[in-house]
Amino acid sequence: MDNLTLHPHTVRVLGALIEKQALTPDSYPLTLNALQSACNQLTSRDPVLSLSEADISSALDELMAQKLVAERIPAGSRVAKYEHRLNYAWNIDGARLAALGLLLLRGAQTSAELRTRAGRVYSFAGVDEVETALTALADKYPPLVEKLPRQPGEREARWVHLLHPPAQVAPGQAMAEPAQPALQERVAQLEAQLATLLQRIEALEAQRPSA
């Protein structure tokens, strides 16, 4: 594995593929439309982005050139789908894949935050398992993550991924938390349902005979 620096849009696409593989296995790999919806979610994303199809396509081209993503065209379909290949490219899965995906989607986080925010992506047994996964990612060559120095006023140090230079965090700056967890969760459910419906529509359109 060579040292790699990805565009921020590309980081988001890769993180979304990791997340949706775990959360929506029945609709994975993802179509371009489903991937766009996943990247632009209003929940579980920091920062929230509004990527166009062109942005997503450019990011996919970058990832496929690095052999981190593969394009698939299922039999009987004209709609391409996309899946990450990190288990082959970087030999990571399970807890390590989940931890990296969360960092790609939400930026710098503590081990405790990662465990809490993992939800259905991965069921960490405890903070120790998170730390073990992060340490394994940090020990790769080149490393995929690193632990930042603990900031004044903070009880724990944060971890960041290294696929794009980490943003500087001001001393004592706190990570923003959702103000309305129930509403955020409902929005996430609706977004997942929308992605599934879009994929079904695309599948039906692909089966229609051309004029």
Q: Which residues contact 25 (CB under 8 A, 6 or more apart)?
A: none
Parts of the chain with a pLDDT under 70: 1-3, 166-189, 192, 209-211
pLDDT in the model for residue 170: 42
pLDDT in the model for residue 133: 98
Peptide bond into 142 cis (omega under 30): yes
pLDDT in the model for residue 183: 59
> Between the CA atoms of 24, 28, 31 and 33, what dihedral angle is there, to the nearest 10 degrees?
10
* Bridge partners, residue 147, by sequence: 159
Work out the angle at residue 9's Cα, subtended by the Cα atoms of residues 135 and 14, and round it to the nearest 5 degrees. 45
Enter the pTM of the model: 0.79
Query: How many other β-carbons are positioned within 10 Å of the β-carbon of residue 108?
Result: 18
Q: Could you tell me the residue ranges of all domains in the chain? A: 8-207
pLDDT in the model for residue 90: 96
Q: Write out the CATH class of domain 8-207.
A: mainly alpha
pLDDT in the model for residue 172: 42
pLDDT in the model for residue 202: 74
Question: Which amino acid, residue 71?
Answer: E
pLDDT in the model for residue 185: 58
Q: Which residues contact 174 (CB under 8 A, 6 or more apart)?
A: none
